Amino acid sequence: MSLVISEDFLETAHISVEELKQEIAVLLFQKDRLTLAQAARFVGLPRLRFQHLLAGRGISPHYGIPEFEQDVATLKKLGRIS
């Protein structure tokens, strides 16, 4: 699916295509509709840079105990920890 946004709209909103994509990604991340990785990929940024973007806006990365446990399980599966 494609979404067409007119240049007039962008000019009226005083926003570039890249800035609009960032705004969409941040909003969807805040609403738990996209993961950190998905939002970063949407705007074409490495995850760490997207995290810096979120931090600059005072938005936490939504990393809690379930995510930590999943990361530990993945590291064990990969043999990185025992």
pLDDT in tens, 20-55: 999 999 999 999 999 888 999 999 999 899 999 999
Does 64 have pLDDT greater than 80?
Answer: no
How far apart CA 20 and CA 80 sit, in angstroms, is 39
| Confidence (pLDDT) at 62 | 77
What residue ranges do the domains of the chain occupy? Answer: 7-77
The answer for residues whose C-beta is within 8 angstroms of residue 26's C-beta and 6 or more apart is 39, 53, 54, 57, 59
Specify the DSSP class assigned to residue 44.
T
How far apart CA 66 and CA 17 sit, in angstroms, is 34
Dihedral, CA of residue 67, residue 55, residue 81 and residue 72, to nearest 10: 0
